[in-house]
Structure 1
Amino acid sequence: MYDLLLVSPMMFWLILTIVLAVFELLTMGLSTIWFALGSLAAFLAAIIGASLPLQIVIFILVSVFMLLLVRPLSVKLLKGKIVKTNIDALIGRKVTVSKEVDNIKETGGVVLDGTTWNVRSSDDDSIIPVGETVVIVKVEGNKLIVEKA
């Protein structure tokens, strides 16, 4: 009977580790891997004979540790590999004003990659003359929001 009690928590932690790891592989969302690692640590503790309350504490501590300390680092590393596309790729580009930018008169334009865009300044009080170089800071609908370079 005592052997059955020892095997049961080990099997629970092993099954939980596998289920969480498979779920993480299917979603690739960095959502359950932390708990899979916690359950793996609890499984290893069960193998060496740790009590069930200690296994639970190890599961919680390792999961929280991994979630709070390792997740921000991994998100930061993965975020740097995202390549901006479409509209996001326009932000930060420098362009030359082809039509005077005046937010009060609601005028302004630039030609970007052969396409004419409506432009507004991020500063309502500034007027940007034709020929001035500006930086795209935001896109709102079909308008580029710019600042002087």
Structure 2
Amino acid sequence: MDNEQMILFWIVAIVLFSIIEGITLGLATIWFAAGAFIAVLAAILNFSIPVQIGLFIVVSLALLAFTRPIVVKHLRVGRHKTNLDVIIDSMGIVTKDIEPFKVGQVKVNGQIWTATTEDKNTITKDTKVKVIRIEGVKLIVKTLEEE
């Protein structure tokens, strides 16, 4: 293959990787499209085919390894935040005693929730609590430590 054919090859690779990324939205093949872009520049500058392939591999893998985690973190790909997430770490007031192996009630942000504790201790009415997590439709809470 000569460099003109390699230019065409790399352009086709860019288009294919971009189409696959557009279909899957997994942030996996876009890095290979970037690697193919660098390889097409190398082909235009008349670098040898092994150098073009080497640049494609090195750039693609480097981008995949170093930039994908950052982009995924900022775009939060695959994670859907819900309104329930704002309740976690919120403070509430016990409105019905929480007893071992029984649910009580807690008022958080103006809403009444069923609640229990991790350690199965009794928490009495009017005690301030903090929401640790949500399991189904039940809050898991702990008492706020007095300072």
Distance 1:135 1:12 in 2: 59
The count of residues paired between Structure 1 and Structure 2 equals 142
Equivalent residue, structure 2, for 1:42: 39
Equivalent residue, structure 2, for 1:134: 129
3-state secondary structure, aligned to 2:126: coil
Equivalent residue, structure 2, for 1:76: 73
Q: Whose helix proportion is higher, 1 or 2? A: 1
Equivalent residue, structure 2, for 1:117: 113
**Over aligned residue pairs, what C-alpha RMSD do you find?**
2.1
Distance 1:72 1:84 in 2: 19
Q: Unaligned 5+ residue runs, structure 1?
A: none
Shift of 1:88: 2.5
Give CA-to-partner distance per residue, 1:61-103, whole Å, 9 cap, x none. Answer: 0011101111122222223xx8842333322221111111123
Tell me the TM-score normalised to structure 2 length: 0.83
Percent of aligned pairs with the same residue?
36
AA aligned opposite 1:109:
Q
Contact between 2:90 and 2:108, CA under 8 Å: does it hold in 1? no
User: Does 1:33 pair with 2:30?
Assistant: yes
Tell me the TM-score normalised to structure 1 length: 0.82
Distance 2:66 2:111 in 1: 46
